Amino acid sequence: MAKGFLDGYKTYDTTGGFGDPDKWRNAFNERMTEDEARRVLINAEKSPYEILGVPPTAAIAAIKKAFRILINEWHPDKNQHRISEAEEISKRLIAAYSLLTNP
């Protein structure tokens, strides 16, 4: 059975609101390990920099900005008419971002 885009990600009980922002931030940082990111990009024809559309000399701020713009554009919720393509591109964007921003 194929894994869905959000399978394996931690979720939080939001019945009382959106919860603790630190938990959300930490969950985002833990979403994809370096090994997982490399597995996603193993057959990619582009480098992580090319996927995000930034030069290899880009600062972290430029990488984050490019990621936010692209993930917003390709988020599966915004592309219901082509959800499988949006999920695949989103995975690549998250993988590229994870590799470029890992300390």
Per-residue pLDDT of 18-62, as tens digits, reads 566 677 667 666 667 888 889 989 988 999 999 999 999 999 999
Domains of the chain, first to last:
21-101 (1.10.287)
Residue 31 is predicted with a pLDDT of 67
Residue 102 is predicted with a pLDDT of 79
Instruction: Give me 74's structure tokens.
Output: 């390709």
- Report the predicted TM-score, pTM, of the whole model to 2 decimal places: 0.70
CB 55 within 8 A of CB 49: yes
pLDDT per residue as tens digits for the range 69-102: 999 999 888 888 898 898 899 999 999 998 998 7
Residue 49 is predicted with a pLDDT of 96
Distance (Å, whole) CA 40 – CA 60: 21
Distance (Å, whole) CA 73 – CA 53: 14
DSSP structural state of residue 2: P
How buried is residue 2: exposed, middle or buried, by Cβ count under 10 Å (0-12/13-18/19+)? exposed
Stretch 1-23: mean pLDDT, rounded? 60
CB 52 within 8 A of CB 66: yes
